[in-house]
Amino acid sequence: MSNLIVVCFDDPTTAFEVRTALAKMQTEYLLEMEDAVVVTKDDAGKVQLHQAVNLTAAGAVGGGFWGTLIGMVFLNPLIGMAAGAGLGALSGKLTDIGINDKMIKDVSASFTNGTSALFVLVRRASGDKVLEGLSQFAGKGHVFQTSLNKTDEAALRAALEQE
């Protein structure tokens, strides 16, 4: 089972830097990611998805998953009730994998022009070493969603949210 982690940053580049740091840790066998996607919103409000290339030998999760997830997170508030039952069914499927409406609203609200977000699916990790490797990013991010246990999530929040 993989853990989904979503971290938002107040600038357009830190998400790329964290993804690079995680990829380096993966080459050192400190973690195994299924995929990591950076989403940016430029000053004009245009949202772009930046998918990593070949993070694992098994291949990436794929654009369909990320497109659905990112679309729900960043476009759902704009769509409103217009999408009807189809959107409700899609939202239900995302809830099944641990992504609830509150998370969607919270991330969407924080994702203003000139910001970035990192969505990561992690299969396994050496928690203490990964957190140590992320220490340079302390205070730069806000963790919105994880499917980690409470202890691991608290450690991740402490590493990224507090200076």
Please report, for the chain, the start and end positions of each structural domain, with discontinuous segments joined by +: 3-161
Under 8 Å between Cβ of 154 and 51: no
Counting beta carbons within 10 angstroms of the beta carbon of residue 56, is it exposed (0 to 12), middle (13 to 18) or buried (19 or more)? middle
pLDDT of residue 21: 96
Among 38, 59, 41, 60, smallest CA distance to 49 is for 38
Is residue 2 a contact partner of residue 124, using CB atoms and an 8 Å limit?
A: no
Q: pLDDT tens digits for 20-37?
A: 999 999 999 999 998 888
Q: Which residues in the chain land under pLDDT 50?
A: 55-60, 77-87, 89-90, 93, 95-97
pLDDT at 69: 65
Strand order in the sheet with 141-146: 47-51, 31-41, 115-125, 3-9, 141-146
pLDDT reported for residue 108:
77
pLDDT reported for residue 90: 46
Q: Give CA–CA dist 44/102, Å, rounded.
A: 26
3-state secondary structure 97-151: CCCCHHHHHHHHHHCCCCEEEEEEEEEEECHHHHHHHCHHHCCCEEEEEECCCHH
Q: What is the pLDDT of residue 25?
A: 95
